[in-house]
Amino acid sequence: MEAKIGFRNTKSVIFKGIVVFFAFVITLPLIIVLIYIIKQGITQVNWHFLTNVPAPVGEKGGGILNALWGSFLMVMVAAVVAIPVGMMAGIYLSENPRTKLAYYSGLCVDILQGVPSIVVGIVVYFWIVKPLGTFSALSGSLALAIMMLPIVIRSTEQTLKLLPDSLKEAALSLGVPYHRVILKVIVPCGFAGILSGITLSIARVIGETAPLLFTAFGNPYLSSSLTKPMESLPHLIFTYATSPYDDWHNLAWGASFILLMFVLILNIVTKVITRKWKIQL
């Protein structure tokens, strides 16, 4: 019996060792990528870099202002579309979990989440770009919004489902009408969870390239018009990294660094929000 125990202990230690080892292994790619991009990109970033559009081929200098502004604008418009729609859908799904509509729309949301981003881009191309006859920032925003929706919907639904029924009951028993119960009690209590879902969805789409390929298309100049093509960070990285010019390669590294920092900061902000603003139930 004692020999068996000894053997079991050894097995246990070995197993633990393997698990810890693989945990380390997983962090390696992230660390390698981070280190490399930071190394390559950080030297590119300066005030000039951030406030100028790319220089024509051959000229030195230039920056990524058009891509920065474009990404910002398009993600904002996408958010304005996706957040209300997504929250409402999430609220419906959490309040009426057993209806047929909930089942089928939930199914659609899950399917949508798995649709390849380039397919989303192609669909928006046929819906909006072709009829309008031009690439536009709006179509790019719409494509991004479609990609944001599943995340916003599901995280809203999950957050609200976790809230105890007693909260609703307390409000209803005070004679509060249903819409106010949702808007003034349920959603505020689930605020941290919903907000973290939103920031996660933004972090996700800010780095999407494929849907913007046939929609926003790209623009070497700084533009604020939603009906004209617009540059975005991931698209700029794609174009410039695959170009034959060294200057443009440098721009791509710098842009990669900026993008990476954005995503990193958004993820950290999400974590902080969840911890700090989570309502203690």
Partner 1 sequence: MENTIVKAENYNSYFGDNHVVKDVNISINKNEVIAVMGPSGCGKTTFLRGINRMHELIPNATSKGKILLDGENVYDMNAIYVRAKIGMVFQRPNPFPNLSIYENVIAGYLLNGIKVSKADKDIIVERSLTSAALWKEVKDSLHKKGTFLSGGQQQRLCIARAIAMQPELILFDEPTSALDPISTSSVEQLFHELKANYTLIIVTHNMQQAARVSDRTAFFYMGELVEFDDTKQMFTAPADQRTQNYITGRFS
By C-beta, is 36 or 178 nearer to partner 1?
178
Q: How many CB atoms lie within 10 A of CB 41?
A: 22
Please choose, from the candidates 248, 256, 223, the residue with its C-alpha nearest in 3D space to the C-alpha of residue 138: 223
- Interaction of residue 180 with partner 1, rule CB under 8 A: yes
By C-beta, is 45 or 167 nearer to partner 1?
167
Provide the H-helix boundaries in the chain.
2-41, 47-51, 65-95, 100-114, 117-124, 130-132, 137-162, 165-173, 178-180, 187-189, 191-205, 210-213, 233-241, 246-277
- Interaction of residue 185 with partner 1, rule CB under 8 A: yes
- Interaction of residue 176 with partner 1, rule CB under 8 A: yes
- Interaction of residue 181 with partner 1, rule CB under 8 A: yes
Please choose, from the candidates 79, 44, 81, 62, the residue with its C-alpha nearest in 3D space to the C-alpha of residue 220: 62
- Interaction of residue 276 with partner 1, rule CB under 8 A: no
- Closest distance to partner 1 from the beta carbon of 278 (Å): 10
- Closest distance to partner 1 from the beta carbon of 269 (Å): 21
By C-beta, is 127 or 191 nearer to partner 1?
191
Q: Is 38 helix (H, G, I), strand (E, B) or coil?
A: helix
Token duo for residue 127 = 């819906």
- Interaction of residue 281 with partner 1, rule CB under 8 A: yes
- Interaction of residue 273 with partner 1, rule CB under 8 A: no
CA 237 to chain centre: 18
- Closest distance to partner 1 from the beta carbon of 39 (Å): 45
Judged by CB under 8 A, the chain residues 81 through 110 that form the site for partner 1 are: 98
Interface positions with partner 1 (CB under 8 A): 98, 164, 166-167, 169-177, 180-181, 184-185, 188-189, 191, 279-281
